Structure 1
Amino acid sequence: MKLPIAIHQARLGSTEFKVIRPAQPLAHAVLIDRDRHLDAYLGQDAAQRIGALWQLAASSPRSLIHLPIRGNAGPSHGPPEGDRRQLDLVLLHHSLQFAPSRWKELRGRLGPGRPQTVTLPDPGRGDEAVEDYEARHYRENRDLFHQHLHAETLFMTGSAKVFLDTARHFSDIARNGPGHIATHSNYPHFCTTFHSNDGTLGTARELHIEYCDQWDPAPLGVRPRRR
């Protein structure tokens, strides 16, 4: 997969940071803080590109990967009024040891960025993740996600392995979401979840991801209230 990106560089003190963003906006992508868990709503294109960015995080340990999506419009069918806080998303390798408290200042210093195209393999179907299921639950497992919340941004920090193992969630959404046929009223949409018991989340909250193909034209914050 060829992924157009923009590379930004900014300095904080004596340290220069590289921030990678998608070259084109991820229009049909929303991340919502539900307090006890997180919900993401994605269209097909957004799911494909976020899966690629997930892989890029595995191979870019010295970069922060920023998905600026907190101002996006949401899906037409929801989410419920009064129960949401939209977030941006940053993916980073744990070895970078970036302090989220510095993010707002760094974000404010980013310029237009330098365009580049990277080539990434298509995500697999998760066979490797199934084989490693038991290993993930060993006490010595360090391939875990950790989350931090700062400046309206969710930070997903993890190892290269955990990013590669979980990119399949997004390829599943992109591949199976558009053709999903609802066979039960309890399951009207195609979805997948980063579960707390799957051995990848560590101290992180569960992340539920749902495919959506109908979107409101206005951002959630200015959407007319439903009656």
Structure 2
Amino acid sequence: MKLPLTIHRARLGPAEFKVIRPARPPARAALSAGYWYLDAQVDQQAAQLLAGLWSLAATSPRSLVHVPLRRTDPETGGPGLDLVLLHHSLQFAPSRWKELRARLGPGRPRTADLPGPASTDPAPDQWPQRHYRENRDRFHQHVHAGTLFMTGSAKLFADTAWFFADVAHQGSGYVFAHPGHRHYCTTLGAYDNLFSTGAGLHIVYRDRWPEP
């Protein structure tokens, strides 16, 4: 899978940060605060792109992956959010994002070669300790400056990219076969002990979008 990107670098004090963005942000995607979860609404192309970016976050522990998604929620009309994926070893505080974002220039183009389309199957559960309460390798989810931050380990991102791939591969067929119930979704939630902080992420396939 070839993923066109834009690479940005900026300094905050003595530290330099690398920010990766998709060269073409998804046109039909929205992220917003829902009642129970953070809601990500995506069409097929956006879901596949996010699966690829999720996998990229797993292989880029020294970078912040920024996905511009901020648009009005097409369902509720509420405000939207951007998305940042980052490795916990960066120890980057979300409160510094607004300043870092303001210092990003136009960036330079690059193409990432990812190992094939993200699988639509859950990763084999070789990590049984994540089901235990004392497991500490979990996502930290924060919202700051109009942005959702998902902070986790390389293994967390690698093991959860399939959620978006599943929606990309299954969503369109499901809504076509069920015209009276056009809702296909999956959820990264607290029930599987994937989150240390935050409400989780509800990913919904949406094939009908208002005209821009």
| TM-score, with structure 1 as normaliser | 0.86
Q: Which residue in 2 is equivalent to 1:221?
A: none
Offset from partner CA, 1:16-72 (integer Å, 9 cap, x none): 11000000121111001126421110011111111110011011111000011113x
Percent of paired sites with the same residue: 57
Query: Retained in 2: the 8 A contact 1:145–1:162?
Result: yes
Deviation of 1:204 (Å):
2.3
Q: Which residue in 2 is equivalent to 1:46?
A: 46
2:92 alignment partner, SS class: coil
Distance 2:98 2:35 in 1: 21
Distance 1:80 1:24 in 2: 25
Distance 1:159 1:124 in 2: 19
Matched, 1:125 2:125: no
Deviation of 1:126 (Å):
3.0
Deviation of 1:203 (Å):
1.8
Distance 1:143 1:29 in 2: 28
Offset from partner CA, 1:82-130 (integer Å, 9 cap, x none): xx3310000000000001111001101111111000111222233434x
Q: Which residue in 1 is equivalent to 2:186?
A: 192
The CA RMSD measured in Å over matched residues stands at 1.8
Q: Aligned pairs, how many?
A: 210
| TM-score, with structure 2 as normaliser | 0.92
Query: Retained in 2: the 8 A contact 1:8–1:114?
Result: yes
Distance 1:70 1:113 in 2: 20
Distance 1:35 1:145 in 2: 20
2:191 alignment partner, SS class: coil
Matched, 1:92 2:86: yes
Q: Which residue in 1 is equivalent to 2:167?
A: 173
Query: Retained in 1: the 8 A contact 2:28–2:46?
Result: yes
Deviation of 1:177 (Å):
0.9
Query: Retained in 1: the 8 A contact 2:73–2:79?
Result: no
Q: Which residue in 2 is equivalent to 1:33?
A: 33
Q: Which residue in 2 is equivalent to 1:16?
A: 16
Q: Which residue in 2 is equivalent to 1:101?
A: 95
Query: Retained in 1: the 8 A contact 2:122–2:159?
Result: no
Unaligned runs of 5+ in 2: none
* Structure 2 letter corresponding to 1:80: T
Unaligned runs of 5+ in 1: 219-227
